[in-house]
Amino acid sequence: MDPAYARMRAEQPLLRIKMAYGQEGWLALRHDDVRTVLSDPRFSRAATLEADLPRAEPDLPNTPEMAANITNLDQPEHGRLRGLIASAFTARRIERLRPFVDETAQRLVTEMLVAGSPADLVKAVCEPLPVAVICELMGVPPAGRSIFRAGIEAVVSNATVAAEARVAAVQAIITYMAELIDERRRDPGGPRDDLLGALVAARDADGSRLSEAELNMLGVTLLVAGHETTLNMIGNMVVTLLTDRSRWDYLLADPDRIPAAVEEMLRVIPSGPYSGLARVALEDVELTGGTVRAGEAVLVSAEAANRDPEVYDDPETLRLDREPANILSFGYGSHRCVGAVLARMQMQIALRALITRVPKLDLAGEVEWRTSTLIRGPEAVLVTW
């Protein structure tokens, strides 16, 4: 993370910002302020649809689907959709996925070993694992994976991809999701004990609880949010461990240290230039260092908040045994990440498979970083063993 963030958090914790596109706004940097912005109902997600937000890419035109997206709803609509996800996305359903995640990670590592050294770890493990997992959870058939994977690359892209291409990509995923939903309706008794089937059943049992657009967007959002962040984070973590071999060796000595190490890496590794989605103040709100006026936009930096010295000792140092509490990498408040448990499971299992099966894994040359997406992660990680 740029050291300027630490200086700003101390000197100007509510930072006036102007980005490549949109009006000026604010960036909250302190842990307590970030929590306030993410959880106080005076900060609205729905109001962002009408606002000219500070952002890194050209805006997409508003569509009815966007207004129905769980990430863009305020209470009480948001609570209604969250409740439905909670009833379909149960801890049991996620735990049932554990053997699949484990077997997939093992298979991918085996395939990488068989193909031989060197390999690109992103293509071999980081990307295929979360894609396979979210498709298994949602019930996306293997043939559909490339359709939605290509679309998602464009959805999370930044200004280097034309706005029309991004709109077309979103539309392609929405159309594909409608086909998957139709399939479940045509074959309601089929062997479809997947999350999408559960959501379709919830919609059809009581249409007043979930509109068709909400159902479709919920599927799309889960598919998109469900793997892009995870695949980048697995790559970021492997690079973090291999750039200082003592970290890798520390986990190799006792792989049961991996869950704590994952938490600490989530705390320290930035996932993008800013995390979480912007909010718009519905009334004037005091934060440390200033007042956000009604109608103004605020972004949060979970990265800066995760290194707030008022919350963490020696915050700039990565200490793999730290077991940090209250990290904001999965957000906070009512919109906090639905998939945090699943994401943690995948990161832990991927690292365990690599560390225990390929203990001599090493970086071969410079890591190539992505420049075309809003999420930070390696484009390619060439490794040898």
Angle formed by the axes of helices 98-115 and 340-357, to 10°?
Answer: 40
Comparison of 230 and 301: residue with beta carbon closer to ligand HEM: 230
Comparison of 315 and 377: residue with beta carbon closer to ligand HEM: 377
**Contact at 8 Å (CB) between 278 and 289?**
no
Tokens read off for 257:
């240290």
Positions in the binding site for ligand HEM (CB under 6 A)? 38, 70-71, 82, 134, 221-222, 225-226, 229-230, 233, 271, 275-277, 329-331, 335-339, 342-343
CA 140 to CA 134: how far, in whole Å? Answer: 8
Comparison of 15 and 34: residue with beta carbon closer to ligand HEM: 34
Report the 10 Å Cβ neighbour count for 337: 16
Comparison of 7 and 273: residue with beta carbon closer to ligand HEM: 273
Residue whose Cβ sits closest to ligand HEM: 339
| Residues listed for the chain | 385
CA 174 to CA 168: how far, in whole Å? Answer: 10
Comparison of 197 and 226: residue with beta carbon closer to ligand HEM: 226
Minimum CB separation from ligand HEM for residue 230, in Å?
4
CA 248 to CA 250: how far, in whole Å? Answer: 5
Phi then psi dihedrals of residue 337, to 5 deg:
-60, 130
CA distances from 334 to 39, 158, 268 (A): 6, 27, 23
Comparison of 157 and 236: residue with beta carbon closer to ligand HEM: 236
Minimum CB separation from ligand HEM for residue 337, in Å?
3
Minimum CB separation from ligand HEM for residue 296, in Å?
17
Comparison of 118 and 259: residue with beta carbon closer to ligand HEM: 259
Comparison of 342 and 361: residue with beta carbon closer to ligand HEM: 342
Comparison of 84 and 338: residue with beta carbon closer to ligand HEM: 338
**Contact at 8 Å (CB) between 331 and 35?**
no
| Radius of gyration of the CA atoms of the chain, in A | 21
**What DSSP designation does 14 have?**
E
What order do you get walking across the sheet with 119-120 strand by strand? 119-120, 382-384, 362-363
CA distances from 331 to 31, 39, 224, 337, 355 (A): 11, 9, 17, 6, 29
**Contact at 8 Å (CB) between 231 and 127?**
yes
DSSP H helical ranges for 269-368? 302-305, 340-357
CA 318 to CA 315: how far, in whole Å? Answer: 8
Minimum CB separation from ligand HEM for residue 189, in Å?
26
Comparison of 82 and 184: residue with beta carbon closer to ligand HEM: 82
CA 252 to CA 256: how far, in whole Å? Answer: 9
CA 265 to CA 319: how far, in whole Å? Answer: 9
Q: What angle is formed at CA 79 by the lines to CA 75 and CA 85, rounded to 5 degrees?
A: 150
